[in-house]
């Protein structure tokens, strides 16, 4: 009994009661703070909108690139959640060119739910892309000294594949690389980015493949040179029955040299005038070149070989109801045919069907009394040519007394 009294006195002592009260208060404080993090909370996140599976031949035109996502979950979970844990996607797989209103797909971590997405749908436009192979040219630097010029240029690759919307590619006048004078003067191989010479800004992305090209250039001192085509100066016209079919020079281009300002105005080098009045046969002759005006001079080539090819000018006439010449003892059905003749223009005007053409059938060797045979036409000269007979086949019948 004495032991129980001592235990009772101990438990009811002020110090023990104070200790128990303190322990309960501390426990309650820890409980409240540990459970408060599991109450529901909301959070709004600004996240990037990703477009998936864009077809290679299409480009995407869409005005929305970020969306607001409101999520709900335990406060402790939301506090520890990183901004990139929430993603928004639009899948455009399998779509053709055109305009679409697409729903968004939102991905969130476990134990987090989506309350609202703003906007919930996006308008996108898929634009057909085309490719074009364009030649790369060198744009001379603005600080190129007077008396220095590019003697030789090599670009690898020479052509670059440009891809983009058709309306953007129509704005491209060419492609260029722009080295500095210091880079050219140093010599060697230079790796340079390709840029477009464009009339207006692009509306969509335009890509270059490759984006960079290698340039090897040699600078020289003196007046620059330029390669230009040869322009043939002709006087007169061929014979009335002929026209010029083709005209070529060897070489087709020649080199000229002079101050850069003067070279800009030179687009071709003329030959001396060649008189072709009345010719009726192909021509091959050596023709001197005319020296350009001003300070521009010709290089080593002072003349070119000129070749002129001719083609005949012909005319056609149709002669209707030309009577058939039929051997004695036979008759033809139909008795007349239409014949079309071609000849040089000057000869066609004087063609006389009665004198220059004979339309007949050949019945020699026939056994049957009635048979279909072809119509034949004989012309007075080789320059005349039959291009049509209608009908081509006639029926010949032997007369009763044959």
Answering whether pTM is above 0.75, one says no
**Residue at which a domain ends, from 73, 91, 119:** 119
DSSP state of 345: H
53 and 115 inside one domain: yes
Domain count, the chain: 5
329 and 393 inside one domain: yes
Q: How many CA atoms lie within 13 A of 173 on its CB side?
A: 5
Query: What CA–CA distance (Å, rounded) separates 154 from 157?
Result: 9
Q: Which of 336, 396, 390, 334 is nearest to 365 (CA)?
A: 396
Query: What CA–CA distance (Å, rounded) separates 294 from 286?
Result: 25
For the segment 341-365, what is each residue's pLDDT rounded down to a tens digit? 999 988 888 899 999 999 999 999 8
140 and 76 inside one domain: no
Beta bridge partners of 377: 359
Q: What range defines the domain where residue 229 resides? A: 225-312
Report helix, strand or coil for 355: helix
Q: Kindly state the average pLDDT of the residues 80-109.
A: 87
**Residue at which a domain ends, from 119, 144, 172:** 119
352 and 319 inside one domain: yes
Tokens of residue 314, six digits: 């012909």
DSSP state of 144: P
pLDDT at 68 over 50: yes
Q: What is the CATH number of the domain that holds 238?
A: 2.170.120.40
Task: Tell me the C-alpha to C-alpha distance, in Å, between residue 115 and each of 51, 73, 81, 123, 260.
Answer: 22, 10, 16, 22, 70
Q: Kindly state the average pLDDT of the residues 21-45.
A: 64
For the segment 231-248, what is each residue's pLDDT rounded down to a tens digit? 999 999 999 899 999 999
Report helix, strand or coil for 261: helix
Q: Which helix (H) or strand (E) holds 311?
A: strand 303-312
Q: Kindly state the average pLDDT of the residues 15-29.
A: 68
pLDDT at position 12:
65
26 and 14 inside one domain: yes
When computed from its CA atoms, the radius of gyration of the chain, rounded to whole angstroms, is: 47
Q: What is the CATH number of the domain that holds 84?
A: 2.170.120.30
147 and 187 inside one domain: yes
> DSSP letter string over 342-399?
EEEHHHHTT--HHHHEEEE---TT--SSEEEEE-EEEESSTT-EEEEEESSEEEEEE-
Contact 272, 252 (CB under 8 A): no
196 and 141 inside one domain: yes
> What burial letters (b/e) apply to 8-28, b meaning 16+ CB within 10 Å?
eeeeeeeeeeeeeeeeeeeee
Query: What CA–CA distance (Å, rounded) separates 289 from 307?
Result: 15
Burial of 343 (0-12, 13-18, 19+ CB in 10 A): buried
Task: Tell me the C-alpha to C-alpha distance, in Å, between residue 51 and each of 75, 88, 89, 358, 383.
Answer: 31, 9, 6, 80, 73
**Residue at which a domain ends, from 175, 204, 221:** 221
Sorting pLDDT into bands at 50, 70 and 90, what band is 137?
very high
pLDDT at position 308:
96
pLDDT at 328 over 70: yes
Task: Tell me the C-alpha to C-alpha distance, in Å, between residue 352 and each of 340, 394, 400.
Answer: 13, 24, 36
Task: Tell me the C-alpha to C-alpha distance, in Å, between residue 277 and each of 15, 235, 249, 287, 289.
Answer: 137, 7, 19, 16, 20
Tokens of residue 259, six digits: 């101050």
Beta bridge partners of 227: 255
Q: Kindly state the average pLDDT of the residues 60-87.
A: 84
- Average pLDDT in the chain: 87
29 and 102 inside one domain: no
138 and 175 inside one domain: yes
Which residues fall within 8 angstroms of residue 397, CB to CB, at 6 or more apart?
A: 330, 331, 333, 369, 370
Q: Which of 84, 51, 47 is nearest to 66 (CA)?
A: 47
Sorting pLDDT into bands at 50, 70 and 90, what band is 35?
very low
Query: What CA–CA distance (Å, rounded) separates 170 from 24?
Result: 81
pLDDT at position 63:
67
pLDDT at position 36:
45
152 and 204 inside one domain: yes
Sign of CA dihedral 364, 365, 370, 372: negative
107 and 186 inside one domain: no
Sorting pLDDT into bands at 50, 70 and 90, what band is 7?
low
Tokens of residue 174, six digits: 């060419």
276 and 289 inside one domain: yes
What's the start-to-end Cα distance of the chain, in Å? 170
Q: What ranges make up the beta strands (E) of 147-194?
A: 148-156, 159-165, 172-177, 189-193
Query: What CA–CA distance (Å, rounded) separates 49 from 117?
Result: 11
Q: Which of 80, 77, 67 is nearest to 113 (CA)?
A: 77
């Amino acid at each position: 009994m004495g032991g129980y009294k001592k235990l009772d006195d101990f438990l009811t002592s002020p110090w023990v009661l104070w200790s128990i009260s303190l322990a309960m208060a501390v426990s309650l404080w820890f409980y409240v703070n540990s459970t408060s993090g599991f109450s529901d909370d909301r959070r709004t996140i600004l996240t990037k909108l990703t477009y998936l599976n864009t077809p290679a031949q299409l480009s995407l035109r869409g005005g929305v690139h970020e969306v607001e996502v409101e999520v709900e979950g335990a406060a402790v979970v939301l506090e520890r959640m990183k901004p990139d844990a929430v993603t928004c996607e639009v899948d455009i797989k399998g779509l053709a060119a055109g305009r679409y209103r697409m729903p968004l797909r939102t991905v969130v971590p476990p134990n987090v739910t989506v309350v609202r997405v703003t906007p919930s749908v996006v308008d996108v436009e898929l634009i057909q892309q085309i490719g074009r192979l364009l030649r790369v040219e060198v744009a001379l630097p603005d600080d190129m000294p007077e008396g220095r010029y590019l003697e030789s240029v090599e670009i690898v690759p020479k052509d670059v594949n440009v891809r983009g919307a058709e309306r953007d590619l129509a704005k491209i006048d060419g492609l260029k690389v722009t080295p500095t004078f210091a880079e050219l003067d140093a010599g060697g191989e230079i790796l340079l980015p390709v840029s477009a010479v464009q009339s207006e800004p692009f509306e969509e992305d335009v890509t270059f493949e490759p984006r960079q090209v290698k340039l090897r250039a040699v600078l020289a001192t003196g007046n620059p040179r330029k390669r230009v085509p040869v322009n043939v100066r002709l006087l007169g016209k061929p014979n009335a029955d002929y026209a010029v079919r083709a005209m070529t020079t060897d070489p087709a281009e020649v080199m000229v040299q002079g101050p850069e300002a003067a070279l800009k105005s030179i687009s071709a080098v003329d030959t001396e005038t060649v008189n072709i009045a009345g010719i009726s046969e192909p021509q091959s002759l050596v023709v001197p070149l005319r020296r350009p005006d001003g300070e521009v001079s010709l290089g080593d080539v002072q003349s070119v070989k000129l070749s002129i090819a001719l083609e005949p000018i012909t005319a056609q006439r149709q002669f209707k109801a030309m009577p058939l010449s039929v051997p004695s003892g036979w008759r033809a059905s139909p008795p007349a045919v239409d014949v079309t003749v071609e000849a040089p223009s000057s000869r066609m005007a004087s063609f006389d069907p009665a004198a220059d053409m004979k339309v007949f059938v050949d019945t020699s060797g026939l056994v049957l009394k009635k048979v279909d045979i072809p119509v034949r036409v004989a012309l007075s000269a080789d320059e005349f040519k039959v291009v049509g007979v209608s009908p081509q086949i006639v029926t010949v019948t032997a007369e009763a007394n044959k």
